[in-house]
Structure 1
Amino acid sequence: MPTDSGFASIPRLAITQGEPAGIGPDLCIAIAQRDHPADLVVIGDGPLLRERAAALGMPLALRPFDPKAPAQPQRAGQLRLLQNLSPAKTVRPGTLEPANAAHVLDTLALACDGCRDGRFDAMVTAPVHKAVINQAGVAFSGHTEFLAARCGGHPVMLLAAPGLRVALATTHLPLREVPDALSAALLERVIITLDAALKQDFGLDAPRILVCGLNPHAGEGGHLGQEEQTLIGPTVQALKNRGFRLQGPLPADTVFVPKRLAEADAVLALYHDQGLPVLKHLGFGRAVNITLGLPIIRTSVDHGTALDLAGSGAADPGSFEAAIASAIAIVEQHRKNRCSG
């Protein structure tokens, strides 16, 4: 609940359960095993969480979520629950069931809507399985696109690990479609969104961004591709003229060397596998997926549903814990911005 300053005493986070047959329920149960400096509200299916907790041998007391009650810090062994009214069907760990697609999407909708109406300060998402949702006849390309369609905005994917932030100009596209997807308007929007988020979410006054080239050796002066000369370079220069602190286009095979990274606050990769292998090598299991450009705060894990680990007790909650910590930090940064503004 708000205090006299207009802010809740501690952040209240919506935690989505994710794919029922994956490790999402396991992660929700794992984070309940210790205290957190935030009010964590899991949105999902209570019977499923209790059954999975019993199978894992972990204590779990679920308390019904009351949006009118003051936010309380998370205490070990407990979780507040917002029950999804379209409960999961029969769930077997590791076995996908298309009939649960509606349950998964309703969970996301509840979290998103709760952030929009002020019940939650941010949402943290456990992984979902895109293919099984599509098998259920629902066009779904990922959390990011779903949230943008529901609450508006122009999302940009940023993954952050200790010592490195990588944003993506394009996300889940076949490689042959990437050049056609790039445009001056897209690059300008992504860079402006990234710059604004580095200021608003991370408290950086004058962010420094490295922009990758598209082609090997950033086009080798036009001999290995023209996009750097005709598109990326001119767009970067135009934004530099407006005061943005940019370098690029830079060869992607050398942009991640320590000397370069020491001069930067983020790297903009132009396609998914240009930047994320480096980041995941550096910090897999500790990295966080942050969606920029939305009117809400959303963080997530850096991995998938890990069906083979579901219900085994072997799922590592490190990235989920990091996503929670990042959401708390961003909420607090936004409050600080409002106080100083």
Structure 2
Amino acid sequence: MPALPIIAISIGDPNGVGVEIILKTFQDKTMFEHCIPVVYANIDFVQKQQLLYSTQIPLSLVEGMPKQGVLNIAAIWKDTPELDFGKQTTMAGVTAFESLQAAAFAVQKKQADALVTAPINKASITSLDFPFAGHTHYLGALWGGDALMLLAHNTLRVALLTDHIPLHKVTAAITIDLIKRKAERLSKTLQQDFGCQIPRMALLGLNPHASDQGVIGNQDDTILKPAVAELKNQGILLTGPFAADSFFGQKRYINFDAVLSCYHDQGLVGFKTLAFGQGVNVTTGLPFVRTSPDHGTAFDIAGKGVANHDSFAAAVQMACTIYSNRQKTD
């Protein structure tokens, strides 16, 4: 039997639901059959929230190799951070970054096999040490590679050509080269991580009605269609552009292994309408595996014990699956 993967877990913003969904996930003892989890925090911090949420999970302070069948805690602070649930604070941002950095370094140093991140608050964490628009860009800079944001639930997968940029910058950002690069990355990801032998991908149009033959802009005709044609010549099956407004409503996604969306809300409105609370955010194109839940810090319910942990549990399971799939293909 192969060794269980070691999963490094960052706690996200301590004033959000991060630790709650981590604890609820590993309250299910069968999760320990899939991985050896290591949470980057300190044991007092986690114990206090065990009491708050009435979970009963065996905890173990990491001294050497992490143990199987327990929630391992890698101590990264001497002093336990103060909790102020639902509040955006600078200290919470510092705490979130320290946990993320320690967990990401552990994966980079081969002390862990994959990274699962609980949600951060972008306004709290942004600083000179973290001048990024989120996890995806930070990990791309730290680990190297061409990061691609992909949301997945069962066979529904939506990837983004552009992710955390303002809408007014999207059109200028989309080029033939970008489409080709991201489609090539997505195709490889579908093969390597999801077992799709000959990936079939759909490209959503940039303008309403995919430009309507040049009536509503021309980028779909002058940029998207030429990129699709060039990829076809390379043997990469990207079809489109499709009018985005009806694509999900007509369930056209079921004919494809993944959908490539031009911008964040275009793809994720459809995805989260169909799979919110069950989906997983996968950062592809990096040398290591990283997943996260499909939601944010949920400040409005933080500390109340009512957070749904399904997406985080799915993120842990998907990290294990992708790591295993990569081991088979390496």
TM-score, normalised to structure 2, is 0.94
CA distance in 1 between partners of 2:192 and 2:203 (Å): 20
Deviations 1:31-69 (A, max 9, x none): 221221211111123222111111122224320224536
Q: Residue 55 of structure 1 aligns with which residue?
A: 52
> What is the distance in 2 between the residues matched to 1:136 and 1:59?
38
Does 1:109 find its partner at 2:106? no
Any stretches of 5+ residues in structure 2 without a counterpart?
Answer: none
1:26 aligns with 2:28: no
Report the more deviating stretch, 158-167 or 44-53: 44-53
Taking the aligned partners of 1:67 and 1:47, their CA distance within structure 2 comes to 19
Superposed, 1:171-250 pairs within 5 Å as 171-250=163-242
Question: Which residue does the alignment assign to 2:65?
Answer: 68
Of 120, 129, 152, the residue aligned with 1:128 is 120
CA pair 205-66 structure 1, distance change in 2 beyond 3 A: farther
Query: What RMSD in Å do the two structures reach over aligned CA positions?
Result: 1.8
- C-alpha separation between the residues in 1 aligned to 2:307 and 2:251? 35
Give 4+ residue runs of structure 1 displaced > 6 Å after superposition: none
CA distance in 1, matches of 2:78, 2:274: 39
Q: Does the 8 Å CA contact 1:88/1:100 hold for their aligned counterparts?
A: no
Q: Structure 1, residues 64-120: CA drift from partner, whole Å, max 9, x if none?
A: 224536x62x3xxx4101112375532222223202323211211222121122211
Secondary structure of 2:247 counterpart: coil
**Per-residue deviation at 1:271?**
0.3
- What do residues 267-304 of structure 1 show as CA deviations (whole Å, max 9, x unaligned)? 00000010111111111110000001111100001000
Shift in Å at residue 182 of structure 1?
Answer: 0.9
Q: Do the aligned residues in 2 keep the contact of 1:40 with 1:79 (CA within 8 Å)?
A: yes
Shifted more, 266-275 versus 42-51: the winner is 42-51
* Deviation string, structure 1 residues 132-176 (Cα, Å, up to 9, x no partner): 123788523100111111111110000012331000000112211
Equivalent pair of 1:208/1:265 in contact (CA under 8 Å): yes
Q: One-letter code of the match for 1:164? A: L
- Secondary structure at the residue paired with 1:222? coil
Give matches, 1:68-107, under 5 Å: 68=65, 72=68, 74=69, 78-85=70-77, 89-107=81-99
1:88 and 1:136, CA in 2 relative to 1: closer, same or farther beyond 3 A?
A: farther
Structure 1 SS opposite 2:255: coil
Equivalent residues, number: 327
